[in-house]
Structure 1
């Protein structure tokens, strides 16, 4: 096996959970007609520092598609002054973070239904529930009843297809009869690893670049459900570049990691749908998979196909997330979900490079 082939396993793909699920996925997604805003380094910084500083006096921040400004929601004028002094735009809203999180807690307690997800869209100051086609009339009635009791803090949206981890066979990294791909290469000191989806690393401990090939890495950490991340240590002496494959003969160097901002432009790299573009639409998302819920995820419009799980969500040189799954992806319809990569890096004490 060539060093070039081994080095390319930073590409994105989805886990094959069972041979019975193998089959062709939909065509690659078309470019997003609403491509979102490209954040500056300062906007990433303000996004995280202002939300921490304001606490419950904000309900999150987002990027204005028309002006490109970072907009920070606030619940009082003192918080608005603090936002403006920092160089961002303030927007007064009705619901605080605590109120929106209380709404999500009510959904968790009363309507945890497989095939649903919910998360915060700060641009509308609401919790947005998405329900796939498996959610039947009785379950929808329950969702609507719970949402009605929460007034205008919650809205419900139907999405086509089925919310699931996406599966397909293919040439990526393989563990037993399962197939995934790494999201990002990472390191701790002189030791090199890659991060991928936890539902991938739950499935197998040893990984190779081809079915039946020699092992290149061993699982050293995995978390799914609740989270969806895992860590594999290179065991073949490989020290690959910290790049993501762009599937056009080039690659994108990754130099840092950040939390995604609603309204920002991003891309997903995966071996089935290759590179797709989209926009971040919600954060702090709960996804109710059949195996159990995962929390604090990010919803995007960068659609995917069977075979893309574990892949890279990124924006320029910035790593954002590890692809988890999707519902009803077709063109720019539907939703793709990622695990924030900063959480995984912190959990394992590793860094992108």
Structure 2
């Protein structure tokens, strides 16, 4: 078979315009609410300084990069929803993340991608196919075939990092996996867990084992925090940074996943903050997953505050104790004792530190367990700062049709009742979505074009409540409610007049 391996070395500012490959930045018009939200979400304290240090940026570049990521995240979410099964992935390009690239399997989608100011690329396989292929690789290929495996959306393939690519090629061929989808890449990356057996300033399990707190959560009336699963098993007792009695592990999953949650006593109060390493904190406002290439920072009890970028999501990593799937791979450094600590992008919780390769002296790679699966698995609610009200928003009253339901983070539902409604003449479609304050729910109006459902109106601010008004021709319509972050009940009022 052909050998397919390569070698790799082990303030508010004006937002930069997109590159010439895309439409002018003005082609994407922010709504008043969204523009206000971007302006209000200034770079968190300590994050600009860390990005300057870790990504070698100027202060202005670091600020501009974060503001670009905030603005373009809404564009990406809109396009991901519109493309549906044709979506091939997305990523940022440029020193200040000035270009959003969105991939599709259908060239006919390029005009609508470019119209938002993003750059479109046509790929052979949708992201859903690559996700299925990675699952096949994980179940068919032994750990000796490479300890790190991920989806490379930029090249529309599966990558396996290995010290011996020739041997891995033979294992790929023998496993029956589609060889055109997989590439073995030579790498010195050696995943290891980042727990430690020395004193420190986070939380302790037993006498000497130390890990780092991820994010504060609640489970009903019970306060607690999430962390890495390898830090402790259910029933293990924890003490705080000051060795004071703290809590007990309620549940833990490792290997397979790498997450846990600890219930704490009344002496510990959950706060929507992450330590930024400069005697300050960064607010946690939600848990929307960052786009590949986005800036991300990590806080841990050994090495403090370090930043980098998201490299690949849905990464499988094999440690000595077993394989973990669904991790996110970054170029942020970490060291033993940082396990369980927070990963955050601007003000959005991303996950908890699992393991890594390298250190913070020579540089390294770190993998984190995404936070939303932890919240869903254990029925937890992330502790976040209160969401400001949407300027000019009206209460969801006066709508003849009202639907209620409950959604968990990352899930979507079509309304009314997973069906549709019909208009027989040109009509004004109005809808109002009201969700729990600590969530970020989005609303989409879709119309049937004879072959598929097409999104014709979008409301995707970073807040729980959304409104849509759209004038359209006769046809079949439906609303799609998506829980971008957080879980909870919602109410949808709608009418067509």
Q: Same fold (TM over 0.5)?
A: yes
Of 135, 154, 168, which aligns to 1:143? 168
Q: Deviations over 1:195-223 (max 9, x none)?
A: 10111132762111158x44211222222
Alpha-carbon shift at residue 123 of structure 1 (Å): 2.4
Once the 2 structures are TM-superposed, how far is the Cα of residue 81 of structure 1 from its aligned partner? Answer: 4.2
Instruction: With the length of structure 2 as denominator, give the TM-score of the two structures.
Output: 0.58
Q: Does the Cα contact within 8 Å between 2:235 and 2:250 map onto a contact in 1? A: no
Matched, 1:57 2:86: yes
Q: Hey, what does 1:44 align to over in structure 2?
A: 73
Alignment of 1:1-353 (within 5 A): 31-33=54-56, 37-38=65-66, 40-48=69-77, 50-65=79-94, 68-84=98-114, 88-113=118-143, 116-131=147-162, 137=164, 140-146=165-171, 150-151=179-180, 153-160=182-189, 162-168=190-196, 169-171=198-200, 172-177=202-207, 178-202=209-233, 205-210=236-241, 213-329=243-359, 331=361, 333-347=363-377, 348-353=379-384
Tell me which structure has the larger Cα radius of gyration.
2
Count of aligned pairs: 316
Q: Note the residue ranges of structure 2 that are not aligned, 5 or more in a row.
A: 1-52, 385-497
**Deviation digits for residues 301-337 of structure 1, max 9, x if unmatched?**
0111111100011122211110000023455743100
Runs of 4+ in 1 over 6 A off after TM superposition: none
Quick check: 2:234–2:248 contact (8 Å CA) kept in 1? no
Alignment partners' CA distance in 1, 2:361 and 2:154 = 23
Change (3 A) 1:293 1:51: farther
Whole-Å separation in 1 of the counterparts to 2:375 and 2:77: 16
Query: Does the 8 Å contact 2:332/2:366 carry over to 1?
Result: yes
The answer (yes or no) to whether the contact 1:107–1:146 under 8 Å persists in 2 is: no
- Specify every segment of 5 or more residues in structure 1 that has no aligned partner in the other structure, as ranges: 1-29
SS at match of 1:128: strand
Question: TM-score when scaled to structure 1?
Answer: 0.79
